[in-house]
Amino acid sequence: MIDILYFAWVRERIGLPKERVETEARTVGDLVAELSAREDRYAAAFADLDALRVALDQELADFDAPLAGVREVAFFPPMTGG
Amino acid sequence: MIDILYFAWVRERIGLPKERVETEARTVGDLVAELSAREDRYAAAFADLDALRVALDQELADFDAPLAGVREVAFFPPMTGG
Amino acid sequence: MTVIVQAAPFEAALLSGAGRGLPGVGAVVTFIGQVRDTEGDLERMEIEHYPGMTERAIEAMLAEATTRWDLLDGIVIHRYGTLLPGEAIMGVATAAAHRAEAFAAADFLMDYLKSRAPFWKKEVRAGRMSWVAAKDDDETALRRW
Amino acid sequence: MTVIVQAAPFEAALLSGAGRGLPGVGAVVTFIGQVRDTEGDLERMEIEHYPGMTERAIEAMLAEATTRWDLLDGIVIHRYGTLLPGEAIMGVATAAAHRAEAFAAADFLMDYLKSRAPFWKKEVRAGRMSWVAAKDDDETALRRW
């Protein structure tokens, strides 16, 4: 089981801030493909990966990073702090 | 008549903060020569002009600047503000 | 070193107190970023963040800045939630022996907060909401360091 | 724009208030320089200045910074007289639309205050007085601008 968090317009597009999923995905990319196949709102949110960032257990990561041992995945647009 | 002000170690070396002098000096350099000729303490203070700065009517100037119309001359070491 | 992430407004005095009482401090730089209303139609700003990751990310930046510029103290405050025009969004303070270090560290922290701290800004203008887009410049700025 | 030259201590709040109430302000940078006692033997610092020229020189720097970086507000406070270790010597605040301008203007003002504002510092250590020498670096720093 893995927790998936969504922020900003990713959260709005998918329609929820957080969900727990059962997945066999080996990498972030695999997980994205799995979610996108589920429903249009996921496909829409993940349509342009260049516009997205991902964090694994609260550390920024790449889309080809492995998910082994990861408990929390977060998807969000580029940050606009400061 | 011209007011001459001294600051920091120039003031200490010459022994006074301010004096009013009658002078025919055409440039700052001339004035320095005139003062240096007066007494040792002036000669000591003006020994190394590279270590000195001059302001004419409260604006930084060069040692070859003309004194015509100037009412206040100030001699001091490089500034250490901030 | 202090990291504060809160919804409530903060006092600027919290920042200017950086390094207080430490004898080696010769320079304290503070930065405050506030909500601008350039077009005259901004109703409010809504800031979302990623609790947990936010604090971790900022702590990592502060640790990095501390090492690189020998900071004697560093403070980062960042708000989330609803902010009105003129309100302070965030603040940074750096205390070091010398000016150059304090300035560089504050500048570095700001660059990193802009694009490595998980905050997202949304603007509400005339009742319409829109997410603030990240600037390419923000990403380029990181390459300075 | 505000220039304050005084013997008395000042409140940091005076600086962080730069640009308050101006809707275009997005960034406020403050700098405070304070007396350091690195060797542990500094009794006090004595700062002499040139009344009249000091204010003129600082006003000219602020005017220059305002033009070059589109400052919306700028404040310079500089003390003279006797200062103890840990006390604030001077402060600068700049308010601008954007961060880069506020940072650059504050940095510029500091460089100019160091070698173009008529202040002279004297240190008293173990009862012995010595004038602080200007650094070649300070002069070099001006060429950045």
Q: What is the phi-psi region of residue B53: left when phi exceeds 0, alpha when psi lies from -120 to 50, beta otherwise?
A: beta
In three-state secondary structure terms, D12 is coil
pLDDT digits (tens, 9 = 90+) for C65-83: 999 999 999 999 999 999 9
Is C16 in Cβ contact with D27 (below 8 Å)?
A: no
Asked if B touches A (at least 3 Cβ pairs < 8 angstroms), the answer reads: no
Amino acid at D91: G
This model of the complex carries an ipTM of: 0.93
pLDDT digits (tens, 9 = 90+) for D72-115: 999 999 999 999 999 999 999 999 999 999 999 999 999 999 99
Statement: residue C95 has pLDDT above 90: yes
Chain A contact for C84 (CB, 8 A cutoff): no
Statement: residue C139 has pLDDT above 90: no
Chain B contact for D36 (CB, 8 A cutoff): no
Measured CA to CA, the distance from residue B57 to residue B72 in angstroms comes to 5
D35: nearest Cα among D114, D110, D90, D93: D90
Mean pLDDT of chain A: 97
Region C108-132: mean pLDDT is 95
Say what the pLDDT of residue C38 is.
81
DSSP state of D134: P
Number of C-beta neighbours around residue C17 at 10 A: 18
pTM: 0.94
Nearest CA in chain B to D138: B80
Contacts of B39 (CB under 8 A, 6+ apart): none
In three-state secondary structure terms, C24 is coil
Residues of chain D whose beta carbon is less than 8 angstroms from a beta carbon of chain C are 12-13, 15-17, 21, 23-38, 40, 85-86, 97, 99, 102-103, 106-107, 110
CA dihedral in degrees (D51, B38, B71, B77; nearest 10)? -40
D135: nearest Cα among B44, B82, C71, C97: B82
- How does residue C34 score in pLDDT terms, banded at 50, 70 and 90? very high
Say what the pLDDT of residue C137 is.
85
Joined together, the tokens standing for residue B4 give: 């001459």
C142: nearest Cα among C92, C108, C117, C119: C108
In three-state secondary structure terms, D57 is helix
CB D92 within 8 A of CB D113: yes
Mean pLDDT of chain B: 97
Say what the pLDDT of residue B66 is.
98
Which residue in the set D12, D29, D110 is minimally distant from C13, CB to CB?
D12
Mean pLDDT of chain C: 95
Joined together, the tokens standing for residue D101 give: 């301008």
Statement: residue C141 has pLDDT above 90: no
> In chain A, what percentage of residues exceed pLDDT 70?
100
Say what the pLDDT of residue D10 is.
96
In DSSP notation, A1-16 reads -EEEEE-HHHHHHHT-
Is B76 in Cβ contact with D116 (below 8 Å)?
A: no
Say what the pLDDT of residue D55 is.
98
Measured CA to CA, the distance from residue C30 to residue C40 in angstroms comes to 27
pLDDT digits (tens, 9 = 90+) for D12-41: 999 999 999 898 999 999 999 999 988 889
| Chain C residues touching D17 at Cβ < 8 A | 12
Say what the pLDDT of residue B53 is.
98
Is A5 in Cβ contact with C120 (below 8 Å)?
A: no
Is C52 in Cβ contact with A82 (below 8 Å)?
A: no
Is A60 in Cβ contact with C120 (below 8 Å)?
A: no
- How does residue B30 score in pLDDT terms, banded at 50, 70 and 90? very high
DSSP state of C135: P
Joined together, the tokens standing for residue D75 give: 């404040």
pLDDT digits (tens, 9 = 90+) for B38-82: 999 999 999 999 999 999 999 999 999 999 999 999 999 999 999
Joined together, the tokens standing for residue D143 give: 């060429």
Q: Cα distance from D56 to chain C (closest Cα, Å)?
A: 24
Tokens 């406070």 belong to: D77
Measured CA to CA, the distance from residue D102 to residue C31 in angstroms comes to 9
Region A64-68: mean pLDDT is 97
Joined together, the tokens standing for residue D138 give: 């300070």
The neighbours of chain C, by the rule of 3 or more Cβ pairs under 8 Å, are A, D
Joined together, the tokens standing for residue B50 give: 């590279």
Contacts of D67 (CB under 8 A, 6+ apart): none
Chain A contact for C4 (CB, 8 A cutoff): no
CB D45 within 8 A of CB D102: no
Identify the burial level of D71 via C-beta atoms within 10 angstroms of its C-beta, where 0-12 means exposed, 13-18 middle and 19 or more buried.
buried
| Chain C residues touching D33 at Cβ < 8 A | 26-27, 99
Statement: residue C140 has pLDDT above 90: no
| Chain A residues touching C4 at Cβ < 8 A | none
Measured CA to CA, the distance from residue A41 to residue A36 in angstroms comes to 8
pLDDT digits (tens, 9 = 90+) for A25-61: 999 999 999 999 999 999 999 999 999 999 999 999 9
H helix runs in chain D, sequence order = 13-16, 53-69, 99-116, 136-142
Q: How many CB pairs under 8 A join B and D?
A: 72
Say what the pLDDT of residue D138 is.
86
Q: Which helix (H) or strand (E) holds C83?
A: strand C81-83
Is D134 in Cβ contact with B79 (below 8 Å)?
A: yes
Say what the pLDDT of residue C43 is.
96
Say what the pLDDT of residue B62 is.
97
Is D27 in Cβ contact with C33 (below 8 Å)?
A: yes
Which residue in the set C50, C53, C120 is minimally distant from A80, CB to CB?
C120
Say what the pLDDT of residue D23 is.
83
